A and B are shown apart, each in its own frame.
Chain A
Amino acid sequence: MAPVATTFFFYFLSALTVLSGVLVITRKNPVHSALALIMSLLGQAALYLMLYAPFVAGVQIILYAGGIMVLFLFVIMLVNIEKSLKEDQFNKQWLVGMAAAVALGALFVFVYIKGKGLFPDRTIQMPEQSNTQQVAVLLYGNYMFAL
């Protein structure tokens, strides 16, 4: 199926993913953070779908959103929420963390600017074969040993 309103959905999903990511670290209530993380993971899954990688998207949903995050929530819900609400949101290492984040951001910006030259054709080719089958061929053919 040909994608519809690609640009809009791309920006919408990206914004969703990033905003949820921000919510993960700013919410005081760990359950809310976990839910935001799930939202972020689902946004990523949708982005994979837009990249014609439905298998990766499906695995993302099953493994991360459906499996791992459920266990996360499971544990978080059993801890004493009131206690965590009273604790400080950020610890003393926030300066170091901030520095790392800025460095990483700078790297992204650098790659984005430089990358324009490195990847001249920025549109993705529609795969001839079903993407899922290609994944299977690669996994169980060429890289069987590594598996």
Chain B
Amino acid sequence: MLDYITSYLKSDTTPGSAGNLFWAFVYIVLIFLGLSVAVIAMNWLERKILAHMQVRLGPMRVGPHGLLQPIADALKLLIKEDIMPAEADPFVFWIAPLVVVITAFTVFIVVPFGPTHAVTDMNIGVLFMLGVSSLSVLGVVMAGWASNSHYPLMGALRSSAQMVSYEIAMGLAVVSAVLMTSLNKEGTGTLSMIGIVQAQQAQHVWFVFKFFPLGLIAFFIFAVAMVAETNRAPFDLPEAESELTAGFHTEYSGFRWSLFFLAEYSAMIAVSSIAVTLWLGGWMRPFPNALGGETWDLVFSLIPGLIFLFLGAITFYSTSRMPKHPYFRVQTLGLGGFGAVLALIGLLLLIPPVRDRVQDIFWFCAKVAFSMYMYIWYRGTFPRYRFDQLMKVGWKVLLPMGIGVLILTAIAGVLF
């Protein structure tokens, strides 16, 4: 039994590929928990970052610096009355949020957080991710239709049209990245997520810089399409608050609504992971070539721990600046505790065995976090597109660009 458990730790493949169900299950649980935490953290971070972009403070009341705000929100949503419109189609209304959430979570079984850190390594990984995430549009359409109301229906129509159109541009960009994986001696590419990162490792280049500027253009197409695919600003027409109140989830409340929320953020993380895997070198640390060698390896492997220690130090600093009044004692303690947790994680990440095993995950998450920051940045900067303009961008700009990049990549692959 113990052998069975430890066999994966020694292997250099994913638990799914190694046939180790125990670890596969552990990873599924870890990813589930990690995603939930990430979504909660994103909720807080988005509000905070957006607030600071807009010269305000954001949540400050619940917990120190509003740290507990997302938890309070989640509690509120859970105990809220669950309203179903009288004219709604009960079954479809009930199942729609589940479809959205399940599809958003399922894609994560092929996301490679490291060479061995994925639930499984499918040889159709990218295809699987695109396929499953394209199913989430079903949930959106079902939600919009089942509400039996005009605004949700219009939101659902908009969102399905939008997702279907942008999927094509997205697919073309993905194909051009996959094409780049085949530039090896055997001439065989791969759709496997891990294989794609390994191809970047073997070619000593992130695909975003490959065949400059072709890789960059493909990445740009994907970056635009992924924002549209997840219905975020400036492509947030399906839930355009000023037009359709809340789009397809207007009639949803409480827990059901929170499922949509969860799915939206999971989907954002999912598409960001595809982008990171395909173009930004996945789990690879920055500058593997320019700053190669054992010394640099060591330096970079220390960075995760140091960053967490630094965050802990900042938290301790703000703890020391909390008002000394007894009224704030709980808050001060809470902030101190949070800092202690961060510092502890930092110390843990500095221990050599953990460090080696976990730094891949850290770099992957850091890149995804960067992508998520871009999402927030877009939201703070751009107005919303109109529907016809959105379609124009999708079909008249991104699609021809995608085809062009694909052809040019193929030509470049043959020539160089």
Contacts and interface: CB of A to CB of B under 8 A. Distances in A.
Interface of A: 1-2, 4, 29, 31-32, 35, 38, 54-55, 57-59, 61-62, 65-67, 69-71, 73-74, 77-78, 130-133
B123 interface: yes
16 contacts: A2-B19, A31-B92, A32-B92, A54-B122, A54-B124, A55-B127, A57-B124, A59-B127, A62-B130, A65-B131, A65-B134, A65-B135, A65-B138, A73-B160, A74-B160, A132-B191
Nearest to A59: B127
B191 A66 contact: no
Closest 9 CB pairs of A and B: A66-B134, A61-B131, A58-B127, A62-B131, A77-B145, A54-B124, A58-B124, A130-B123, A58-B131
A64 to B, nearest CB: 10
B16 interface: yes
Given A31-B92, A66-B131, A74-B157, A38 B19 contact: no
Contact of B19 (A1, A32, A77): A1
Main secondary structure of the interface of B (DSSP, over half): helix
Given A31-B89, A31-B145, A38-B138, A133 B131 contact: no
Contact of B164 (A1, A67, A77): A67
Contacts of A78: 157
B128 interface: yes
Nearest to A58: B127
Interface string B77-104: 0000000000001011000000000000
Nearest to A69: B138
B205 interface: no
Contacts of B17: 1
Given A1-B17, A2-B19, A74-B160, A131 B131 contact: no
Contacts of A32: 91-92
Indicate the size class of the contact surface on chain B.
20 to 34
B153 A77 contact: yes
Nearest to B145: A77
Contacts of A132: 123-124, 191
B295 interface: no
B135 A66 contact: yes
A54 B127 CA distance: 10
B92 A35 contact: yes
B208 interface: no
A54 B16 CA distance: 15
A66 B141 CA distance: 12
B301 interface: no
Given A1-B17, A1-B19, A70 B128 contact: no
Contact of B132 (A1, A61, A77): A61
Given A1-B16, A65-B135, A77 B141 contact: yes
Contacts of B127: 55, 58-59, 62
